[in-house]
Amino acid sequence: MSKSNFTRRGLLKTGAVTGAGLAMPTIFTSGAMAFTNEPTGDTVTFGFNVPQTGPYADEGLDELRAQELAIEHINGMGDGGMLNTFSSKALGGDGIMGKKAAFVTGDTQTKSDAARASAKSMIEKDGVVMINGGSSSGVAVAVQGLCQEAGIIFMAGLTHSNDTTGKDRKANGFRHFFNAYMSGAALAPVLKNAYGTDRRAYHLTADYTWGWTQQESIQSATEALGWETVNNVMTPVGAGDFSSYITPVLNSGADVLILNHYGGDMINSLTQAVQFGLRDAQANGKNFEIVVPLYSELMAAGAGENIKGVYGSMNWNWQLTDPGTQAFVKSFGEKYGRPPSNSAHTCYVQTLLYADAVTRAGSFNPCAVAEALEGFEFDGMGNGPVLYRAEDHQCFKDVLVMKGADNPTTEYDTLEIVEQTPVSQVTYEPNHPMFGGDEASLGECNDGA
C-alpha cells in the first residue's frame, strides 16, 4: 500500500488551543473527571506518528500497515488477528467502550523536532487520546516528553535506546520493544561461541541516543567476554556514504566491525564494508567478522547477500511458530501480501495493549490507563509471557538472536533465528547504571487536568 493511502481518517476535531510553545490541549470534563481529549462522541482517535520520509521510512510504512490492521481488528473487521490469541479477553472486537477507533497520521521524518511538532498537532487539533509509533529513539524520547506534558499516553513503537525507559522514562510512556542492554546480554554468549573471547572490536555508531546506548551496551557485554574495544567512531544519521568511516578499519588492528546503525544507514554501511573487502579479510590471524546488534527484516532484505552469516538481535520475527505470531502473520499477509516486520509487530501490539488497558480500566483517563498497564502480565502476542514492569514501563520477554541466512528462499527469510534468549538472561534492575541509576524516576502521571 502506498503512503498516499495513509491519509487522515475519521478525524475528530477538538477545538485546539493555539499559542506559543506547547499549547494546552483541549480538556473535557465529565462529572468529577477531567483529562486531555476525553472522547465525547461515538469515535475515539489514535495518533500514529511514524517516519514516512527519511532514512527509516521503510520501517515507518510497515508500522502504518500494522497500525491500520490493529484498528480494523479493534473495530471487528477482518479475522481479529491477535485478539484471538491474546490472554486478556477484555476487547470484544466491537470498538473500545462503545466507541469506534479511528486514527490520524503524522510524519516524524526521523527528526525529533518534526516528530514533536507532528505529535503536538495531533494532540491539539485532532484530539488524539494516545500516540503510537516512531522508528528512532531520539524521536521516541522527544515525543514521550511531549505526551507527558500534554497528559496523553505514549505507546512507543520501535525505540531501542536504553534511555527511553531509563534516564528519560516518563509516567505517561510505555515501551513494548526491547532495548540495547537486552541486545548485548542476548548476543554476547552467541558471539563468544562463534568467535571466541580474544577479539578486537571497532565500532561505527549512529550519533544519537540509540547509537550511544547501543554501543555502550554491546561494548560492555563483549568486554566482559574478554574482547578489546579498539575504537568507537560516531557517524551522522542519514550519512549515506560511509566509505570514509570504513577505510580506517582494516588498518586499525581490529578483527570485528560492529555496526551500531539502523535502517537505511545499516544497509549502506554494511554494503560498503563488504565492498571494501572486510568480509574476505583476515586480521590478527582470524577471519574478519561484522556484527549488527539490532536487526530488522527490512534492513536484511535491503542488504541482500551482504547479510549472510552476520549476527544480530531482534524483538520478534515472523518465523516464530507460536499461535499469536501465526495469527498476526496470517492477518498481515492476507491484507498486504507480505510478512510483517518486527517494527510492524510492536506497533500492532502496542495499539491493542492500549485499547485493552482502556477497557480493563473502564476509562480513557491516561492515569487510569497507566495503572492498568503497570505490572500487567500477558501472553499470546508473539513473544511468550510478557511483563509490563511498573517501575520503568519496560516490557520484559524473551529476545531473539538472529543470523543472516546462508540460503534464503525469498526476500523475507533472509534472517534465521539462532536462539530465543530467555527473559531471565536479559533482565536488569530498574536502577541499573545504564538506565539512569538511582536518579531515574517516572515522575507522576499527568492526565492534563
Of 342, 363, 392, the position where a domain reaches its end is 392
The answer to whether residue 150 sits within a structural domain is yes
Position 213 scores a pLDDT of 94
Residue ranges making up the domain that contains 246: 181-314
Residues 116 and 264 in one domain: no
Set of cell numbers at residue 60: 515507518
Q: What confidence score (pLDDT) does residue 187 get? A: 98
Is position 418 within any domain?
A: no
CATH of the domain at 193: 3.40.50.2300
Q: Give the separation between CA 150 and CA 357, rounded to whole angstroms.
A: 20
Count of Cβ atoms closer than 10 Å to residue 371 Cβ:
17
- Domain boundary among the residues 314, 347, 379 is at 314
The tally of domains found in the chain comes to 2
Q: How many whole angstroms separate alpha carbon 82 and alpha carbon 327?
A: 6
Q: Is residue 69 domain-shared with residue 186, that is, in the same domain? A: no
Over the chain (449 residues), what is each successive 10-residue block's mean pLDDT?
A: 32 30 50 79 96 85 96 97 98 96 92 92 96 86 96 95 96 97 97 97 94 96 97 91 94 96 90 93 96 90 92 97 98 97 96 98 97 98 96 98 94 94 97 96 94
Q: In whole angstroms, give the CA distance from residue 421 to residue 418.
A: 9
Q: What nine digits make up the cell of 366?
A: 491516561
In angstroms, what is the C-alpha Rg of the chain? 21
- Using DSSP, state whether 374 is helix, strand or coil: coil
Instruction: Show the CA angle centred on residue 318, arms to residues 306 and 211, nearest 5°.
Output: 55
In a domain, 336, yes or no: yes
How far apart CA 388 and CA 374 sit, in angstroms, is 6
Report the run of H or E that residue 84 belongs to, with start and end.
Answer: none
Q: Where are the alpha helices (DSSP H) in 260-322?
A: 263-275, 297-303
> Would you say residue 281 lies in a domain?
yes
* pTM score: 0.91
